């Protein structure tokens, strides 16, 4: 999955709103003296450009109040709340946007996906799932399924992980996850059909004793896990010095 710098998730809608506002002002020049205060937007963009999210909140709130029709500002504000660890406020803003009349279908779907991320950040999984399910037959179904894959793993709903993977289609890199889903479900036959010589099937449980380190996130643990409790990666734990076998390496595809 392509990782987008969160900075752009905040700033792009702002720049879009800024450009739209500027154009409106130009149109109005000569027939109206009504001034639109852009200083809040400018302050917010400046704060975000140096990574200061906290200082962006107040001017953005002010701009949102002054220009309630500019959805870009409201969406950026909601994203900012979520990234600041205030998903409840993000949910509030996003629900108020979704309740508006005459939203284009594509915009409603984008807002629904954003709302799902807000709910995930707030740990309200059942509502996130409702949003993601609603997006299944839309152009955003692939993105929704990727969130489902992560969410169902957290909930240890392995059959649902597999169903979401199936909706995404066959992709490189899914083999490890599919294998472990079957193994977690106790369906060793399906697991073996995918990967017969994986150490999870070929080594006795005792071979994994001792301290381990995740090669992805550096998480250290006193025992072995097939899925890293720190970053949720599979087959990423490798034995620390003193252990017998580098099993994680053996498990690499």
237 has which bridge partners?
214
Residues 106/83, Cβ–Cβ less than 8 Å:
no
- Report in angstroms how near the CB of residue 232 gets to Zn ion at its nearest: 7
Question: Is residue 65 within 8 Å of residue 84, measured between CB atoms?
Answer: no
Nearer to Zn ion, 203 or 216 (CB): 216
Distance CA 214, CA 179 (A): 19
In the bound state with Zn ion, the residue whose beta carbon lies nearer, of 11 and 214, is 214
Q: How far is the CB of 155 from Zn ion (least distance, A)?
A: 19
- The answer to whether residues 234 and 177 touch, using CB atoms and an 8 Å cutoff, is yes
* Closest of 88, 138, 89, 151 to residue 112, by C-alpha: 138
In whole angstroms, how close is the CB of 165 to Zn ion at the nearest point? 21
Residue with Cβ nearer Zn ion (23 or 217): 217
Indicate the residue among 210 and 230 with the shorter CB distance to Zn ion.
230
Torsion of CA 125, 129, 130, 133, to 10 degrees: 180
Binding positions for Zn ion, rule: CB under 5 A? 214, 216-217, 219, 228, 230-231
Closer residue to Zn ion in complex, CB, 83/238: 238
Spatial distance between the Cα atoms of 217 and 143, rounded to a whole number of angstroms:
24
* Least Å from the CB of residue 47 to Zn ion: 32
Q: Estimate to the nearest angstrom the gap between the alpha carbon of 171 and the chain centroid.
A: 19
- Could you tell me the smallest distance in angstroms from the CB atom of residue 151 to Zn ion? 18
């Amino acid at each position: 999955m392509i990782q987008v710098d969160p900075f752009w998730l905040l700033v792009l809608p702002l720049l879009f709103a800024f450009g739209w506002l500027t154009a409106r002002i130009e149109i109005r020049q000569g027939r109206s003296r009504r001034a639109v205060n852009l200083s809040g937007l400018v302050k917010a963009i400046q704060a975000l450009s140096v990574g200061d999210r906290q200082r962006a909140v107040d001017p953005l709130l002010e701009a949102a109040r002054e220009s309630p029709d500019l959805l870009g500002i409201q969406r950026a504000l909601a994203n900012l709340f979520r990234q600041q660890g205030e998903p409840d406020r993000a949910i509030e803003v996003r629900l108020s946007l979704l309740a508006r009349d005459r939203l284009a279908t594509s915009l409603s779907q984008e807002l629904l996906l954003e709302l799902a991320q807000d709910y995930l950040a707030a740990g309200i999984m059942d509502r996130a799932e409702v949003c993601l399910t609603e997006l299944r037959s839309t152009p955003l179904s692939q993105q929704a399924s990727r969130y489902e894959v992560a969410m169902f793993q957290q909930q240890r709903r392995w059959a649902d992980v597999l169903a979401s993977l199936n909706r995404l289609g066959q992709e490189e890199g899914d083999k490890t996850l599919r294998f472990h889903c079957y193994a977690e479900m106790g369906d060793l036959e399906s697991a073996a059909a995918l990967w017969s010589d994986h150490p999870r099937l070929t080594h006795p449980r005792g071979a994994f004793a001792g301290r381990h380190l995740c090669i992805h996130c550096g998480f250290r643990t006193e025992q072995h896990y097939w899925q890293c409790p720190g970053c949720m990666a599979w087959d990423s734990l490798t034995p620390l010095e003193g252990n017998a076998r580098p099993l994680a390496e053996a498990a690499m595809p």
